[in-house]
A = this chain, B = another copy of it.
Amino acid sequence: MGNIQEILIAQGIKARQAARVLATASTTVKNVALLNMAEQLETGSQDILKANGADLELGREQGLSAALLERLTLTDSRIRDMAQGLRDIAALPDPVGETIDSSRRPNGLDISRVRTPIGVIGIIYESRPNVTADAAALCLKSGNAILLRGGEEALNSNRVIARIISAAATGAGIPEGAIQLVDSEDREAAVFMMKMHQYLDVLIPRGGKGLKTAVLENAVVPVIMTGMGNCHVYVDEFADLAQASPIVMNAKVQRPSVCNAAETLLVHHAVAARFLPAMIGELQAAGVEIRGCPTTQQLVPGIKAASEDDWAEEYLDLVLAVKVVGSLDEAVDHINQYGTGHSEAIISDNYTNVRRFLREVDAAAVYANASTRFTDGGVFGLGAEMGISTQKLHARGPMGLKELTTCKYIIQGDGQVR
């Protein structure tokens, strides 16, 4: 076995070759492959569970948190869900080949813009082994080859899943190399992937701050950063407070570990005294730790002070920072300064304030009178998602099949010259 860089380059070359063929593969071939992948995952469930058991045992030995072990765990039912996910993707329309727009020019040229695959997509992700199947399926359906780099804690599980789906795809006529796992626990592998611009057309890191920093420092491949969510709920002075409470509870408590959960509550000072004591009581009763600004601390005795760091923190846990603001402007400024551009909500019944918030807050998803928890490819009608982009180029918000494509101008003439 050579070193990891040589292996990665060899994988890159194979991926490029596969991508060329995959780009013109028919929808039927791709769908048959996806259905075969689903079936083989179910057939191979015992192998997958065995490998997953090994990962879990290693994880326990290494002292992984209960939350992480939970995300790592596969069961028969989770494998069936994974297989169903692939069947769902097979049922989605193929984005490749769609004519986005077209025109006949005065000189008789017919110019159309047609959706095409991007080429080779690299993804770097953590913990949940079902991502291996999901991401591979989304890339396959959109005509892209994929290089998968999962978390080292899930390597045994990912190995078996990747082997099964890759063989199932090849067996159904997809070129070898279309689905490849980076089989290494070495952190250097991820860093080297970030530099493989000759082999990867785009890199999609799914993860938190550490991964983002590594990408900023190392990436030469164009990147679509996903899944950083420091989300806010702003309760305006004109909020319907009876509506505000369930939204705040939902945004914070329903599933605190995901990127569209709220991390900071902003409350207009005109309603703070009426709203905050009961709201904080309800949150605390649900096990939420509150970190408050000085005004919050005055209104609700005995809660911890929020530090500057708290405003920037993505807790992904039952912790909520609370700040009383003097105006809509202060709320918008706070969000634009500390937010990660993911999902931001205003609770208000004032037309002008809602309109201003929706316009002026700079984020992938801005909400009026609903929970931030809805930012999701399924909920938004995309069918499935590759992650939630928090950057502005190429894709913003949930990324579905279309976001895994690019386009090409096709110009048909009869001998035209300029």
Chain B residue at minimal CB-CB distance from A248: B417
Type the 1/0 row for A243-256, where 1 means its CB is closer than 8 Å to any CB of B. Answer: 10011011100100
If over half of A's interface residues share one DSSP class (helix, strand or loop), that class is named, otherwise mixed; here it is mixed
Q: Taking the nearest CB of chain B, how far is it from the CB of A385, in angstroms?
A: 13
Query: Is the C-beta of A45 less than 8 angstroms from some C-beta in chain B?
Result: no
Given contacts A393-B224, A417-B246, A418-B374, contact A409 B366 (CB under 8 A): yes
Query: Is the C-beta of A7 less than 8 angstroms from some C-beta in chain B?
Result: no
Residue pair A418, B373 in contact (C-beta under 8 Å): yes
Q: Which of B23, B360, B413 is within 8 Å of A24, CB to CB?
A: B360
- Which B residues are in CB contact (< 8 Å) with A381? 103, 105, 111
* Interface-lining segment among A84-92, A128-136, A215-223: A215-223
Please provide the chain A residues from 196 to 223 with a CB less than 8 Å away from any CB of chain B in the complex: 197, 201-202, 216, 220, 222-223
Residue pair B392, A254 in contact (C-beta under 8 Å): no
- Which B residues are in CB contact (< 8 Å) with A172? none
Query: Is the C-beta of A408 less than 8 angstroms from some C-beta in chain B?
Result: yes
Please provide the chain A residues from 327 to 360 with a CB less than 8 Å away from any CB of chain B in the complex: 336, 358-360
Query: Is the C-beta of A226 less than 8 angstroms from some C-beta in chain B?
Result: no
Q: Which of B220, B223, B243, B415 is within 8 Å of A216, CB to CB?
A: B220
Chain B residue at minimal CB-CB distance from A365: B409
Given contacts A105-B379, A392-B406, A407-B396, contact A369 B414 (CB under 8 A): yes
Query: Is the C-beta of A371 less than 8 angstroms from some C-beta in chain B?
Result: yes
Residue pair A418, B24 in contact (C-beta under 8 Å): no
Chain B residue at minimal CB-CB distance from A247: B417
Residue pair B365, A20 in contact (C-beta under 8 Å): no
Residue pair A118, B202 in contact (C-beta under 8 Å): no
Query: Is the C-beta of A189 less than 8 angstroms from some C-beta in chain B?
Result: no
Please provide the chain A residues from 1 to 50 with a CB less than 8 Å away from any CB of chain B in the complex: 20, 23-24
Cα distance A60–B367 in the bound complex, in angstroms:
59
Given contacts A362-B119, A370-B415, A417-B371, contact A202 B409 (CB under 8 A): no
Query: Is the C-beta of A391 less than 8 angstroms from some C-beta in chain B?
Result: yes
Residue pair B336, A20 in contact (C-beta under 8 Å): yes
Please provide the chain A residues from 242 to 270 with a CB less than 8 Å away from any CB of chain B in the complex: 243, 246-247, 249-251, 254
Query: Is the C-beta of A364 less than 8 angstroms from some C-beta in chain B?
Result: yes
Cα distance A216–B418 in the bound complex, in angstroms:
34
Given contacts A247-B417, A381-B103, contact A367 B411 (CB under 8 A): yes
Q: Taking the nearest CB of chain B, how far is it from the CB of A203, in angstroms?
A: 10
Query: Is the C-beta of A397 less than 8 angstroms from some C-beta in chain B?
Result: yes
Q: Which of B109, B250, B365, B407 is within 8 Å of A370, CB to CB?
A: B109
- Which B residues are in CB contact (< 8 Å) with A393? 118, 201-202, 222, 224, 393-394, 406
Query: Is the C-beta of A58 less than 8 angstroms from some C-beta in chain B?
Result: no
Residue pair A222, B223 in contact (C-beta under 8 Å): yes
- Which B residues are in CB contact (< 8 Å) with A411? 365-368, 370, 374
Cα distance A392–B411 in the bound complex, in angstroms:
18
Task: Please list 12 pairs of residues, one from A and one from B, whose beta carbons are closer than 8 Å in the complex, sorted by A's number.
Answer: A103-B381, A118-B392, A197-B216, A250-B417, A363-B408, A365-B410, A366-B408, A367-B413, A368-B410, A368-B413, A396-B407, A396-B408
